[in-house]
Structure 1
Amino acid sequence: MIRLEHINLVVPDLKAALAFYQVAFPHWHIRGGGEAEWYGTPREWLHFGDENNYITLNDKGTGENRELTGLSTGLAHFAFVVDDIDGMIARLEAAGYPVAKQGADEPYRKNVYFIDPAGFEVEFVQYLSDIPDERNRYS
């Protein structure tokens, strides 16, 4: 079995980034964290997740994230599968995080994109079928 365990993000404001992911994933918790040095620069880090998956957040990020509408090299987005996309949207919007763009109109999945406080595009997808050919339909 192969699965993605975590992603590691460098952000300018660790508390702001954490606030976004705490709204998105209220069942997750801070698994651990501390202070470390990265090539001579001290910074704070933490792991936010559950027993199987997490996001590493590191502070002291500098500069701007890549222009998401352009073709610059870099992370375009990452995605999480959720059981209740409408609930996810409602929680994030109520906390002041607007939908950045709606996903494709598909009969077997719903998806939506948000921009986190560090400028990363985060997709949330809910599958409406357990049949792989339907879930993974490309049209």
Structure 2
Amino acid sequence: MAAMLEHANYTVSDGDATAAWMCDLFGWHIRWKGPSIDGGQSIHVGTDTQYLALYTPGKGTAEKSNSYLTNGGLNHIAVVVDDIDAMERAVTDKGFTAGNHGDYEPGRRFYFHDHDNIEYEVVQYD
């Protein structure tokens, strides 16, 4: 059996706010929330089988450099949806800006950045 990705863990400035918009847009739920290393907080948000661990340090966050030019940088997180047009409207309604649209094999996609300037890709496969 091939390995299955269970979660990814990354730092955000406000885990509660990030988890809230993810639950609203993606239909996810908070699986767990609690104290974490260095006086921080972690929130696990996703489905019953896969999730993102949102870590907020107790001492605040710093701006990141261009992740595409940083070894080990997080470039983007991708989600798959059934109706990309409806998701783009929902993303825009949340105040995010959709851009960098692509329609190439194997599906359509667009990207947006959240309030921490983290890039998300939304894909609908044909």
| TM-score relative to the length of structure 2 | 0.84
Q: What SS is found at the alignment partner of 1:57?
A: strand
CA distance in 1, matches of 2:77, 2:55: 17
Which stretches of structure 1, 4 residues or more, deviate above 4 A after TM superposition?
Answer: none
Q: Aligned residue pairs: how many?
A: 122
Mapping for residues 1-139 of structure 1, pairs under 5 Å:
1-26=2-27, 28-36=28-36, 38=37, 41-60=38-57, 61-67=60-66, 71-73=69-71, 74-103=73-102, 105-106=103-104, 108-128=106-126
Which structure 2 residue ranges, 5 or more long, are not aligned?
none
Q: Deviations over 1:87-122 (max 9, x none)?
A: 11111111111114223x326410010112222111
Cα shift at 1:7: 1.1
Identity of aligned residues (%): 36
Cα deviation for residue 81 of structure 1 reads: 1.6
The structure with more helix, counted as a fraction of residues: 2
In the alignment, is the contact (CA less than 8 A) between 2:84 and 2:123 conserved in 1? yes
TM-score of the superposed pair, with normalisation by structure 1: 0.77
Q: Is the 8 A contact 1:65 1:120 kept in 2?
A: no
CA distance in 2, matches of 1:9, 1:107: 29
CA RMSD of aligned residues (A): 1.8
Q: Is the contact made by 1:23 and 1:95 (CA closer than 8 Å) also made in structure 2? A: no
User: Which one has the largest radius of gyration?
Assistant: 1
